[in-house]
Amino acid sequence: MNDLILNTGNYKNLLSYKKADIIFRITYFFCNKFLSRGDRTIYQMIQAARSGKQNIVEGSAASSTSAKAEIKLINVAKASLRYTQPRLLI
């Protein structure tokens, strides 16, 4: 039965996962260090970074059965991570 479905999901070796993990850690540190406690922005930024990382994990797991599900979850991750970075006002 194991030969029927490919064993994928080695997400920890993916460059995208490694970068998402770094983004999550930096976002968490930044929010707790520089933003005021009780600010809703803290929760939103941390959850977006966590969601981006988690969707890469789930997309990697789904890759063994559905390429469509994998692509969808990776796109969700990309969208989540895009909005975790603080914007510089110029």
Q: Report the Cα–Cα distance between both ends of the chain, in Å, rounded.
A: 57
User: Do 56 and 74 contact (CB within 8 A), yes or no?
Assistant: yes
pLDDT, one tens digit per residue, over 39-62 is 888 888 899 889 888 888 887 777
pLDDT at 53: 87
pLDDT the model gives residue 86:
55
Distance, in Å, from the CA atom of 85 to the CA atom of 27, rounded to the nearest integer, reads 7
Q: What is the pLDDT of residue 83?
A: 61
* Dihedrals phi, psi of 69, to nearest 5 degrees: -65, -40
Model-level pTM?
0.68
Q: Which stretch of DSSP H or E encloses residue 79?
A: helix 67-82
pLDDT under 70: residue ranges of the chain = 1-9, 64, 83-90
Say what the pLDDT of residue 14 is. 83
Task: Give the pLDDT confidence score for residue 82 in this predicted structure.
Answer: 72
Angle between helical axes of 67-82 and 40-62 (0-180°, round to 10): 160
